[in-house]
Every structure is written in C-alpha cells, then in structure tokens.
Amino acid sequence: MTIITVMLPLKRIAMQRAKFFPLLILTFFVTLSWLPVTGFAEQERPGVNEQKPEVTKVAELKQKAQDAYIHSRYAAAAALNLEIAEKYPVSKERRYSVQMLGTLYEDNLTDIKKAIKWDREFIKKYADPRQVPVYKEKVASLEKLMNQEQAFKTYQAIRFANKGDEVMVTKFEALLKDHPDFLLKTEVQRELAYAYGRLDKRRESYLAFQALSSPKGGNKLSSSDRIASEAAGRYWQMTSSWGWVAWGVVVMLWVAVLLMKPWEGLNRASIRKFLLLAVIWLLLIAASLPVFYGIDTKGDKIIFHDTAVFIAAGLNLTVLFWLLLLTRGKFWQTRLRALRWVSPLLTLLMTTAVFYLFLIHQPNGPEITDVFAVKYQQLMGELAERR
C-alpha cells in the first residue's frame, strides 16, 4: 500500500510535465511567429521612421554645400551650411557645417565677426584637443584685425582671386602702399617674395626675404624661407654680378677682334669656308632634332624647348663668325704660332660666356645652370642608349 500511495503522486507529476513541455514548445513558436509582425508595427509607429527623411535631407544639403564650395559659389555654400547648422542641431553633419562657416567667413566672404562666431562655436562643441589651440590662435588673430577689416578683405580677395602672380604682385604692392601698418604685412611680404621667385625676378624676391629677416621685420623667416632666400640671392648674383662679367668678356673679345680690322683680311675663299661651316652646322642641328624630340622628359623639372635649341644654334653661328674674324686679324699675320695656341682658348672663353648668358636668361635659367651637368650626362646617356 505504501509503495502504491507514493507512486500515484509521482505518476501525476510525470503526466503534468508531459503536458507542460508541448505547451512550452507551442508558446515558443507562437512568439517567433509574432516577431516580424511586432517589427512592422514598430516601424509604423510615429517617430521611428520620421528621422530617415531628415537624415537624407541633411546629407543632401551637405553634398550641395560641398559642390558649391568646390565651384567657388561661396555665398551659396555659406547659406547651405547655415541651414544645416540652424535647422539640424543634433545631426552629425553640423560639425562640418560649423567648421566650414568659420572658413568661408574668414577666407572667402570675409566677415570677421561671423568668422569669430563660428570658430568659437567649433571650439566649444566640436574641436578635439589638438585643434583647440589652433582655433584659439585663429580667433585671437581675427580679433586683432577687427579695426583693419577692409584691408583684410582686400588681402583675402587677392589671395583667392587666382589671377596669376603678376596681378597678385601688383595688388599686394598696392595693399602695402595703402596700408603700411597692416597687421599681416609679414604674410604679404612672404607672398611677394615667393611670387617674385616664380616670376624669375630674383632680385625682388631676395629683397623681400631680406625685409622679413631684418630687425624691423622681426626676423620671421622659417627654415623653408631661408632656403628660398639663399637660392634667390645666389640666383640674383648669377644674373647680376656673374652676368655682367659674362657680358664684359663678350664685349671685350668682340672689341679686341674689331680693333684688329679683320675685314681687311677677308676674301671670297674665307667667306665661302664660313658659309660651308654654317650649312654643315645647321644640317647637324636638323639631323639631331628627331633625337631631341624623342627624348623622354616625363618627370623632368627643367625642360629645354625647341625654340631654345634654335636660339642656341644661332648663337653658335655668331661664335663661329667671331672665330673667323679673329683668325683674319692683322695682329696674327706675323704670329701664326701664337694664333694656333690662343685661338682655341679665346674661342672656349667666348663660347662659355655666350652660353652662360643664354642659360641665365632662360625661364628659371639659374636652376638650369645648377643641374646642367647632371642633365647633360643624362641626355648623353639617353643618346648612347639609342645608338
């Protein structure tokens, strides 16, 4: 009896568990079947799907603002960025818009108050620790320029006009003349120094750099400025001091030849000989032109154009004519052995002076003289490979 009494409750419990597990499984599958419905219901609730069009619109506004900035439509870019900043304060695009508004009002639209406002907003909400000191310095500089806003507008307009170095130099010189106490005078002088260098005005470039390095200028030359200043000074010396030396050599040699009255020693045979040599020289130049045009100049900073080659060929003919006159001078009629020794040296001197003057008066001529030996070896190597 006791065993039967104990087993009956256990049997009931087992039967109840057997009924419970199928019920549990059924409940699990019903729950799974309701999950997609619940998801759709969540999407249909107001507020869940409302942000999607808003996010899309902000992204479109940012894209339009970027496009306007790239195409120099700065007023339109500012208006679009302003719309993002004011209407969508919690969007991730607002950081970009606030930063761009500061840049636009400083560089392109030149409104110092608005530039300061948006730069401060960027510092307060978005700047990372590395950007904070940079933007604080920028704000401090803009605050100092509040009393010179018109000069600052002119400065920025010149910088971003993109009308070439000649126009920029003229306008910067006028700016310094009209506003001699301009707070950004150092930056203007630096811009002028580099622009003069690009225009191959080495003297003006060197003097502009010297103004920056003077005690009055506060010695505000950076390391790159010093390198550019030294190059400008050296190039100026090449075109002035050494240039005048070369001109002196050429003039002296021509005067020396003419003083010997070489025309008295000229005859038809010597003239025919000169003409024959000139024709041979021109034929050599013409024959070498295909090789010249076939040289690969990709990656070369300094390129000799075909007009320079023709001018060099013409200059060589003048040296050849000078040599003809030299050998017909009266002075050498009784000194033929001396002529044999001296004429090659004098010809080399004349050729060096003439071609030095030719090189330094080419665009970026001083750079050509710096790399002439390297370039010459490279050209000779390419010619040797073609043979």
CB 135 within 8 A of CB 125: no
Give me the residue label for tokens 């920028």: 138
Residue-wise pLDDT tens for the chain (387 aa)? 444 443 434 344 444 444 444 544 444 444 444 444 434 334 444 444 444 577 788 889 999 999 999 998 999 999 999 999 999 998 999 999 999 999 999 999 999 999 999 999 999 999 999 999 999 999 999 999 999 999 999 999 999 988 889 999 999 999 999 999 999 998 999 999 999 988 888 889 988 888 887 656 556 788 888 888 888 888 888 888 888 999 999 999 999 999 988 888 778 888 888 888 888 888 887 887 777 677 666 666 666 677 777 888 888 888 988 888 888 888 877 788 888 888 889 999 999 999 888 888 776 677 777 676 666 777 777 777 776
Please calculate the CA angle 273-274-275 and round it to the nearest 5 degrees. 90
Contact criterion met (CB below 8 Å) for 282 and 313: yes
- In 3D, which of 223, 221, 191, 189 has the Cα closest to residue 208? 189
* DSSP string for residues in 223-262: HHHHHHHHHHHHHHHHHTHHHHHHHHHHHHHHHHHHHT-G
State the pTM of this model.
0.61
